[in-house]
A and B are shown apart, each in its own frame.
Chain A
Amino acid sequence: MKKLSLLIVLLFVFVSVSKAQMYFEFTLPDIDGTDVSMSKIMDKSNVVMLSFWATWCTPCKEEMKKMNDIYEKYKDKGFTYVALNNDNQKSVSKVKSFIVAQGYKFPVLLDTDKKVFEGYSGKDEMPYSLLINKNKEIIAVHTGFKTGDEKMIEEEIKAALEVK
């Protein structure tokens, strides 16, 4: 029990002194089956927002609609919005239909087994979004989405892009 307590204390110390929310590279297939690597997206972008979502998640779809407008507004300035889909085996077949029908043009990658979600400390709640700057630092994290949150997210993106 002592060992266990020590382990937990050590872990908490590690957590407190280390940088939380780890950036890591990954490669996932997009909705057409083409592998897309995060490093290539980062190479082409100044700021990237990773957003985990699923077709059954109502707030995710609202966030996606609002983020599509923001993506269209700032994509020429180096902003990329990447929607990482967490639908599992029961609904993943509907993902492409949903995205194409809505006319979204941002990259949509399939994280069906949630390994990337888990790697970015995702836990139960969606949408779950991370804003990453050119230096591969996670500068903002958002869990859930309420109407109006898009304004705050846009401000964060503008600040990261150094756009007025």
Chain B
Amino acid sequence: MKKFLLITLFIFIAAGANAQIKLNVKAALNNLFRYGSGNETNLGQTYGKEYFENVSDARLSINDIVFGMRYEIDRPIEYGNDFLGIKKRYVEYTNDEVGINLRAGDFWEIIGRGLSLNVFEDRFLYYDTGIDGVRASYKKTFGQKNPFKVKGMILGGKMTFNDYLVPTRVETYDVRSGNFELAPAKFMILGGNYVYSTGSVPTSIDTTATKSYVPEAYGWLKFSNFQWFLSYAHKQTNTEENTLYDAMNAKGDGFYSSLSYSIPKVGLTFDYKNYRFDLTAPDYRGNDRPTRMLPYQNPPTAIKEHATTLLSRYPHVVDFNDEVGAQMDVIYAPNDKMTFNFNTAAASRHYNYINSGVGGLVEYERVDRSDDFIPSFSDEFSPWYEFFAEGEYYVSDNFYGKVAYDYQNSVIYDYLSPENSEKQWVHTIPTEFRYTFIPEYTFKLSFEQQFLYNSNAATDKNFMNQLIALSLSKSPELSATIGYEWTTSDDEPTGKTNWLLGEVSYKINPTNTVTVSYGTERGGVRCTNGICRYVRPFEGFRLTINSKF
């Protein structure tokens, strides 16, 4: 903290040293207040739940220098560890003419598509891989008609990573990274990045010291109506011996490529992923394994992220350590009233494992295959695939409709008892209709129907979910929604089969919004960027105030 203040002071003095500079001071504040009171259910137990959170992000700009700070009150927090105090702070200097940017304090960063470095925050998941340190970047363009661009960046700092599944487990890393990017022509970018880190990875009985090296190379090419991106990263993690693990020298890699083609009315994107950052036997795939993909890495998931309630409840959880797959996405807009979207994706593990142990011992042996660069649909590879189709139509200025269909099929293979493998398929039909009956007043109906089969369901293996939400909004300030959901499944952790939730949102002015909700929430798995956690069922009252000053 002292060092940080010293750097801040130095920059301010440096800025003020030139008496000719006219000070241009601006400030902004974002505030998010959240309060909730009710009951939450976890592991079959229902208990009282209350949270009180206030997150204030302030920014103060003096000419080219920005000072930022986040003051946070989480007492108690809804999910994660309680906190009170300054959680983030930074000072940043930017000079666009020279092309430099310097930042000291907290920051997030992404290089390429994130195969070697992608640190970000998702507060809802309690996921934060932000780095506390220094970052310096430089970019320059030479020439105008045929510009030659160069970009470089170095960073170093500490990363404190709370395991979002077990928030009390904290991993720490010292991270160093250097990035260099060249654009020798308008149609091409070539880049390289190198990350070195030392880490401390605790598990239940011991802590493992790690050293990791992650070089990455990437490129981007544009030709005619095509754009092509490809990236390859290699990861090596060396660990020291402890009571849990022998010393390891684990090597893995990841490859990602996307090819897109666009012409008026039609857009097509093909994504391919081949992530092998920590190929290992099924009994070593723990979330705290020290040789797994590092928390500061986060490559593309190459699956569609859905926005509707029921569809997003059964996501495919990407395993970046062992997954190969592809995605195709097509957009077709025949006119300015209609848009169609088709998406299909498939993924699986690379290899099958067989138990070659004798006398009751479990010892897995990998079964290699030559076509491990494509996903397999055999159960042994825990395959997953999806088809999605959606059509939306602006019938008139007053009426809009959207209908979609989605099918997902997945297997989570049990290597010891294949008959206990979890097989699941899900058909979902989400729809949405909006009707503006008086200017400013819009009525919205969302209806989703879902049919499921899950081989491991305790009672009825075939069941269905249904959701209906009615919403009335008055532009720009008010919206009220009432949502009702029910299921025929008997396996819900709360024992409930229906949920009713009401929500009112009021905009005091364009940047200050109050949202109040009351009722029952089903909970379920929620994902961002392939990071997924189970959100517990909740019943009660929530208040959110979002402000900007």
What residues make up the interface of A, taking CB atoms closer than 8 Å to B? 4, 8, 11-12, 14-16, 18-22, 24-27, 32-35, 37, 56-58, 65, 88-94, 96-103, 112-114, 119, 121, 123-125, 140-144, 146-149, 151-152
Contacts and interface: CB of A to CB of B under 8 A. Distances in A.
A97 B340 CA distance: 13
Given A96-B227, A100-B262, 16 more contacts: A18-B25, A20-B28, A20-B548, A20-B549, A22-B28, A32-B222, A33-B189, A35-B147, A94-B331, A97-B267, A101-B332, A113-B110, A124-B123, A143-B546, A146-B475, A149-B475
20 contacts: A11-B69, A15-B27, A20-B26, A21-B548, A56-B307, A58-B307, A88-B110, A96-B260, A96-B262, A97-B260, A101-B333, A103-B264, A103-B333, A121-B28, A121-B30, A146-B473, A147-B436, A147-B473, A151-B475, A152-B475
B269 A97 contact: yes
Nearest to A90: B300
Interface string B263-279: 11111110100000000
A26 B97 CA distance: 11
A56 B394 CA distance: 19
A120 B466 CA distance: 40
A90 B301 contact: yes
A58 B341 CA distance: 13
Contacts of A16: 549
A118 B226 CA distance: 31
B442 interface: yes
Nearest to A140: B510
A91 B114 contact: no
Contacts of A18: 25-27, 60
Contacts of B58: 11, 15
Given A12-B29, A149-B476, A102 B339 contact: yes
Interface string B131-142: 000000000010
Contacts of A14: 25, 27, 60
User: 9 closest A-B pairs (Cβ-Cβ)?
Assistant: A97-B267, A148-B475, A100-B262, A93-B258, A101-B267, A18-B27, A22-B26, A89-B113, A89-B114
B260 A8 contact: no
A152 to B, nearest CB: 5
B286 interface: no
Interface in B313-339: 329, 331-333, 336, 339
Contacts of A113: 108-110
A144 B307 CA distance: 15
Interface residues of B, number: 85
Given A125-B546, A147-B434, A151-B475, A25 B149 contact: no
B267 A147 contact: no
A101 B331 contact: yes
Q: Which of B263, B266, B336, B394 has the most chain A CB within a 10 Å cutoff?
A: B336
B440 A148 contact: yes
Interface in B243-292: 258, 260-269, 271
B202 to A, nearest CB: 28
Contact of B269 (A37, A94, A142, A143): A94
Nearest to B331: A101
Contacts of B305: 56, 90-91
A151 B439 contact: yes
A22 B61 contact: yes
Nearest to B231: A89
A129 B546 CA distance: 15
A58 to B, nearest CB: 5
A97 B26 contact: no
Contacts of A34: 186
Nearest to B476: A149
Interface in B23-55: 25-30, 32
Q: Which of A16, A22, A97, A142 has the most chain B CB within a 10 Å cutoff?
A: A97
B205 to A, nearest CB: 35
B264 A148 contact: no
Contacts of A26: 96
A97 B301 contact: no
Q: Which of A91, A119, A146, A149 has the most chain B CB within a 10 Å cutoff?
A: A146
A111 B63 CA distance: 22
A123 B544 CA distance: 14
Given A101-B333, A113-B109, A143 B436 contact: no
A142 B227 CA distance: 33
A26 B112 CA distance: 20
Contacts of A89: 110, 112-114, 118, 298-300, 529
Contact of B28 (A21, A57, A100, A151): A21
B30 A90 contact: no
A33 B183 CA distance: 10
B25 A144 contact: no
A27 B96 contact: yes
Contacts of A143: 510-511, 513, 546, 548
A136 to B, nearest CB: 11
B69 A35 contact: no
B86 interface: yes
Nearest to A10: B60
A4 B85 CA distance: 8
Q: Which of A21, A25, A65, A121 has the most chain B CB within a 10 Å cutoff?
A: A121
B215 interface: no
Nearest to B66: A119
B356 to A, nearest CB: 38
A144 B513 contact: yes
A90 B530 contact: yes
Q: Which of B187, B510, B549 has the most chain A CB within a 10 Å cutoff?
A: B510
A152 B271 CA distance: 39
Nearest to A8: B71
B260 A94 contact: yes
Contacts of B510: 140-143
B293 interface: no
B59 interface: yes
B12 interface: no
A148 B441 contact: yes
